[in-house]
Structure 1
């Protein structure tokens, strides 16, 4: 902790120096030395509590990295920033896509006159976005070279010809052939792309609103930088990368070549704040700020103290400090007096623990293995997690589907949050998990030692989660040890199937609640399916769900699929989180969206007030 505090102080000092001197290659910020007639630059400062893994859309699946790339890359569609319920709107597209009656063909037309940010890869020429860029970017998900975690999402859709092209590259060990024509990606003209699927997918349109699933990357950039592409994210979005210290700090600056993009939205009639924001900024050119600084600080205390020290304009309040910031659910008087604003919102997410189904201890489909996983789940109390560690900021997860998504029903309860240590002990006794050597810990049925390995990080918050786990397991006689590491490295281990038990969160990127079923979908083992669950009956249900339009019949299938997961329990959902965000008085316009992550496009900073506060 001492090292992290020192890092926070050093970061604070560096920020103050930067405010005076400016960053290399970036505009100078307002200080007391700023001439009266100078243009005041607007800088939005924010912190993430976990490190990014990549800045390449094809290699990203985590929310932290997606938050960054959403400001650089653009998908054809997006969501209205203020509309609730959410509404799809065009971004780089002229209009919403058309589809065939069977939902197997989707046609999108890209708006002419949109350009990538300038980059040496373009040899000094302006590079216009075309439909071919989306086709090329789509192919990258299939290229084995990039090991894309998004690939599994599309494999089930069977984009005609792409799987064969991928398999050819694997079989011949030759580079993926991007020039080979494929029936599934039809370029009708310079700006029009038709995607032909091998199966019906009524929800395919939602992929087009996510830069991670459908972000445009220029081929010239990929070919110029190759494996160093991470350091050169070049998109058509409102910002471009100016500085990157991995797992430490990212600086995005306004893309000077960004097109005219005027603010508009459709907030609900009873959304007073949204209506006021619309009235003030309707027709204003986006983005409203000139620079975004994103700091990576994994420890809660430095994030909170830095915000109180006015080093960040927006903070997601760490759990440990929620009672201080929002006692009794209301903004603390001292913070309200300073002019800070509060947003408290239930998230479209869940936190869950998964068991590696290929692990010799906790994996497997036989009754004894199911009993062990169920006993572990019954021993752990989701509600205690919420009240003690999360300070009440969450609701128990009773299903796999999350709030705000199609198919979510708060009344459904599949038993994921059931807590019954007595039942857990009875299951362990029944299936032979007894203390056979008298050391106080249960052993495997064959008498071998039983040790559970839970992977976690070293932060204070996770230490509290670990204490809950250790206490719960000890109460039923199970030994659990904690493997401490860094999140990005553990994620790589998880993809490779080298982690036994791990807890993580998953946030919805679209209103399709069935996407959470893919956390256990066989064809996505090593990608979305980190549990490596492989049950043909379950996979068949997910396939039917993915091919079904929104309907009561689809909801019935969702229930069946979740019932199977409740039986085999490769995943234990814990909680749907409630987040608290605080904004400094000079920041306006922040609004948590259930699915979109490019909030930096819309927020505004009063630079004069900000500069005065941090002097």
Structure 2
């Protein structure tokens, strides 16, 4: 096929059960129901369990889409409004009681059901905003569901047509240049209706997909074990080198029948030091290098000779990701669009000592972010500069100007005289503790009190979905190689359903968002992206912090590893030498 992923037809893959890869994550997952959750670590594992219509070529840079469940790239007609897919025959879900001992083939109806489930108001999908208004007839179906309290999955709509088992036709209200990327996103991982309904619409701990791996063991917050799906059709590793260093991967892997690895063991180790020691001692095969260990392991971004001699390999890049601290726009202390609230958020953003985080927490493995659209995705502009600088003197003057006066104790009150007390949430990790200490020093310099509640990442995430956290520092990672993926997090209708965690709702922003998502790639769309970013800065929706270098290490016995900028669940592309 010339696409790097040469499928084997009906010949099932035969992964070696004695080949094991062990990996450590710094945070626990949030379950495996990808229509309902938005978590990097859930995505990482779910992409190995579920499949999507499209996938990314493993080595191509910039990111390039290729077919997965689809037989080929879709036929696009009607001036970009109609996408016709042919579904590959012989793709089967892993066995489940919901199938009543019958072998269950994936069909076009399953894809249509999955897309409808994203839009079901009860699903509260973080991806719903991305698909809003796109499929002809879907908005009417959503309105009916909101009125009746029940989504009618059996009602046909013009936007999702299934003429036969293996044909899917998407009819869009307007052209959309991000559509194929959205269909490759983990939230579009295809599920079976019977399984969802048998589990009362919650498959978070009961994932059933058609991917290379399936869930064997799940201990929330501790470990996950995946094993190769014996019914997976497999593919031949045939990717082409596109960057320096790729030739080694091609030499290691070309022509192998995939997947090779029979078992994936995922451990959750929140402490950076513990995670690094597990990798350094050989207990872990794949891990992201903890920032604090970078001074020992790296020299100017390259592995030091001692680690090269041990056979360790590195995959390093400035990630298509950001870190930021959000403000809850529904919070009575920091939310809202009045001038004094905007001034408060602006002062807080100007007070944060980003350089301290880069040096003391990230050990130089980051740079100050200039835009919420990071390098590596469409819409990134290297000349763009953030309009909110680090300037605690100006922050103090701004707070004085808008009535946030200091009391006898040196701390500021609201203009009405009530105490101003921030609550900045974090997780119980050494890194989060250090970041909270930087926040405290930053706020002390402008006379603002703060409390720093600590909860697990999963608990904080659930609370953020409900718009209950006043402030929280997070990372955002590109799910598609387009800046729309980051802009989507501030689209008003997404508030309270996952993607828009700070519940920011601006009519001006939403109008630009709706216009931008139907424009083709080009100058007009790029200009609108910049206006949207400036609107977020004017309202000070977040404090924008860092773009991070991400250093992924692999032991010498792991073959074919290179971190993809968008795609996760990369174990299906790897091999490992037995110990």
TM-aligned CA deviation for residue 40 of structure 1:
6.8
- The answer on 1:197 being equivalent to 2:172 is yes
Compute the displacement of 1:266 (Å): 2.3
TM-score, length-scaled by structure 2: 0.94
**Aligned with 1:91 (options 40, 49, 68):** 68
1:58 paired with 2:29, answer no
Q: Residue 43 of structure 2 aligns to a residue in which SS?
A: helix
The normalised TM-score by structure 1 is 0.89
Q: 2:465 aligns with which of 495, 499, 506?
A: 495
Q: Which has the higher contact order (CA 8 A, sep 6+)?
A: 2
For residues 255 and 299 of structure 2, the distance between their equivalents in structure 1, rounded to whole angstroms, comes to: 38
What is the aligned counterpart of 1:439 among 409, 426, 432? 409
User: Could you tell me which residue of structure 1 aligns to residue 356 of structure 2?
Assistant: 384
Q: Distance in 2 between matches of 1:503 and 1:549?
A: 33
Instruction: Name the CA distance, whole Å, in 1 between partners of 2:298 and 2:382.
Output: 25
Question: Which whole-Å deviations, capped at 9, do the CAs of 1:239-263 have from their partners, x for residues lacking one?
Answer: 0100000111110001000103111
**Match of 1:235?**
209
Alpha carbons 2:17, 2:261 under 8 Å: kept: no
**1:48 equivalenced with 2:25 (yes/no):** yes
Q: 1:335-394, CA deviations, whole angstroms, 9 ceiling, x for partnerless residues?
A: 222211122211010011111112111111121111111110111122221122101111
Give yes or no for contact 2:320–2:377 (8 Å, CA) kept in 1: yes
Instruction: Name the residue aligned to 1:468.
Output: 438
Gaps of 5+ in 1: 1-28, 30-38
1:189 deviation in Å? 1.7
CA drift of 1:100 comes to 3.0
1:170–1:91 distance in 2 versus 1, CA, 3 Å: same
CA distance in 2, matches of 1:551, 1:581: 33
Cα deviation, residue 599, structure 1: 0.9
Q: What's the counterpart of residue 550 of structure 1? A: 521
Counterpart in 2 of 1:278?
Answer: 250
**Residue 9 (structure 1) aligns with:** none
Match of 1:258 in 2: 232
Please give the secondary structure, in 2, of the residue aligned with 1:229.
Answer: coil
- 3-state DSSP of counterpart to 1:323: helix
Indicate if the aligned counterparts of 1:455 and 1:484 stay in contact, CA closer than 8 A: yes
Q: Per-residue displacement from partner, 1:567-603 (whole Å, max 9, x unpaired)?
A: 1111222111111122111112111111111211111
How many Å separate the matches in 2 of 1:511 and 1:343? 19
Give distance in 2, aligned partners of 1:524 and 1:102: 28
Q: What does residue range 149-548 of structure 1 map to in structure 2 within 5 Å?
A: 149-157=126-134, 159-173=135-149, 175-212=150-187, 214-227=188-201, 229-268=203-242, 271-416=243-388, 418-435=389-406, 437-526=407-496, 527-548=498-519
CA contact (8 A) 2:175 2:518 kept: yes
Structure 1 segments (4+ residues) deviating >4 Å: none
Aligned with 1:195: secondary structure? strand
User: What is the count of residue pairs matched by the alignment?
Assistant: 564
User: Alpha-carbon deviations, 1:225-246, whole Å to 9, x = none?
Assistant: 2255223211110001000001
Correspondence for 2:125 among 139, 148, 157: 148
Q: Counterpart of 2:363 in 1: which secondary structure?
A: coil
Structure 1 residue matching 2:207: 3-state secondary structure = coil
Deviations 1:109-165 (A, max 9, x none): 1111111122232222221111111011111112233322222221242x2333333
